[in-house]
Amino acid sequence: MKTLEVDLGHRSYPIHIGSQLLSNSDLLKPHIQGKSVVIVTNETVAPLYLGTLKTQLSNYRCDSIVLKDGEAHKNLETLNTIYTRLLEQRYDRKTTLIALGGGVVGDIAGYAAASYQRGIPFIQIPTTLLAQVDSSVGGKTAVNHPLGKNMIGAFYQPQCVLADTEVLKTLPPRELAAGLAEVIKYGLLGDREFLLWVKDNMDALKDCDNATLTTAIERSCQMKAEIVAADEREGGQRALLNLGHTFGHAIETEMGYGEWLHGEAVGAGMVMAAEMSRACGWIKQEDLDLAKEVIAAADLPTQPPSKMTPDTFLQHMARDKKVIDGSLRLVLLKALGHAVVTADFDQAALMATLERE
C-alpha cells in the first residue's frame, strides 16, 4: 500500500492506495470521530462492495443510502433525499459520511457532507479509476442544476481517501479507459517520464494489475495534490488540470451527456491540444505522435466526432469557464510534460486544429 498526504494545513489528509483496502478497517477507524457512519453509494456499487465495507464498520451505528445510478441523478432532488434520511434518523454533526462509488456518488455525498448541519466529517472511497485519480482528490463537491453542470457545490476536503485497486476489476472497460485518459493527462501536462511509463505499462493497466494501477494512481494523485495544494481554489495553476478539457467539454456538450464518456471526450480533446501545440510550433511532430499513440493505446478516441464543425467548437468554447474578459484561455503544451495556461496563441493554429487540416 502507498500513502500520500494532501498538504492543506490543518485540513491535510491521507490518500491510501493499494489492493484489498476495503477489507482493512484499520485504515478507516482513525478517521471516524463519532459513533455513527452513513455510507452513500448507488444501486450498481452496493451489491458489489457495500457488504464488505459494512462488515468493517460493525462497531459503529451504520446506515447506508443507495442512490440511483447515473449523472442524471446528480441533482438537488437526490441531495434532498440524503438530507431527509439523515434528519429522519436524527444523525448529528459527529456523523461521518462515507462516499462509496464513482465521481457522481463522491460529488453528491461530498456536498451533502459539506452542507448538512454546516458540515460533517467525510471519507471518500472512490470505486472508478476516474474518481481515484481525479474527482476524489482536491475537495471539489457539487450537484448539477437544470441550468448547468456542477453549478451548486462547495470546496470541502475529506478526512481521508481510500483507493482500492481491486474494485476496478468490475469496472466496465469503457469506464476504465475513461479513467486512463486522466492518468495520461498528468503525464502530458507535467511528467514526460510518467507518460512513457504509462505507454510501456498500458497492457498491465488495462488488465487491472494491482501493482501497476497502484503506481499510476499514486503518481496521478501526487500531481493533482501538488497542484491543488498550490492553488486550492483555481486561481491559476489548477487550470492546468483542464488539459484537453476545453475541446473535450465542447464535444460532450454537443453530443449530449452520456453519448461520449467524459474521459473519451478528454482523450480526443488532449489530441487536439497537442495538435494545436504542434501548429504553434511548440512541440515536435514526434511528440504529437507519441501523445496520440498513448491515447489510442488506452482505447480512447483520438479525434472528435465527425459532426463537430469549427463553428460548433467555437460556440461551446466561448462559454468555457476559462474565458476571462472575452479572451479564450487554453491549456497547451510547451513541451511534452510541460503544459501552460495561455491566451497568447496563434489564432490560425486554433483554426487549423478545429478545421482538422
Ligand X SMILES: NC(=O)c1ccc[n+]([C@@H]2O[C@H](COP(=O)([O-])OP(=O)(O)OC[C@H]3O[C@@H](n4cnc5c(N)ncnc54)[C@H](O)[C@@H]3O)[C@@H](O)[C@H]2O)c1
- What cell was used for 272? 487536439
Residue 307 known to be catalytic = no
What is the rounded distance in angstroms from the CA atom of residue 55 to the CA atom of residue 39?
12
DSSP 75: B
Place of cell 452520456: 258
What is the rounded distance in angstroms from the CA atom of residue 175 to the CA atom of residue 12?
29
What is the rounded distance in angstroms from the CA atom of residue 308 to the CA atom of residue 316?
11
Backbone angles phi, psi at 335, to 5 degrees: -155, 165
Residue 213 interacts with ligand X (CB under 6 A)? no
Binding mask 44-83 for ligand X (x = CB under 6 A): xx--x--------------------x-x--x---------
Residue 16 known to be catalytic = no
Identity of the residue, 100 or 308, whose beta carbon is nearer to ligand X in the bound complex: 100
Q: How far is the CB of 53 from ligand X (least distance, A)?
A: 12
What is the rounded distance in angstroms from the CA atom of residue 197 to the CA atom of residue 189?
14
Identity of the residue, 105 or 336, whose beta carbon is nearer to ligand X in the bound complex: 105
Q: 15 has which bridge partners?
A: 4, 161
Identity of the residue, 152 or 351, whose beta carbon is nearer to ligand X in the bound complex: 152
Binding mask 145-174 for ligand X (x = CB under 6 A): -----x----------------x--xx---
Site for ligand X in 106-125 (CB under 6 A): 107
Residue 245 known to be catalytic = yes
Residue 103 interacts with ligand X (CB under 6 A)? yes
> Cα 248 vs. chain centroid, distance in angstroms?
14
Does residue 213 contact residue 205 with C-beta atoms inside 8 Å?
Answer: yes
Cβ density class 3-34: b for 16+ within 10 Å, e for less: ebebeeeeeebbbbbbbebbeeeebbeebbee
Residue 299 interacts with ligand X (CB under 6 A)? no
Identity of the residue, 104 or 198, whose beta carbon is nearer to ligand X in the bound complex: 104
Q: How many residues does the chain have?
A: 357
DSSP letters spanning 152-166: EEEE---SEEEEEGG
> Which candidate in 206, 234, 322, 338 is catalytic?
234
Identity of the residue, 32 or 130, whose beta carbon is nearer to ligand X in the bound complex: 130
Residue 140 known to be catalytic = yes
> Which candidate in 185, 245, 278, 329 is catalytic?
245
Q: Residues with catalytic annotation?
A: 118, 140, 182, 224, 234, 238, 242, 245, 249, 262
* Binding site residues, ligand X, CB under 6 A: 42, 44-45, 48, 69, 71, 74, 101-105, 107, 127-128, 130-131, 134-135, 138, 140, 150, 167, 170-171, 175, 178
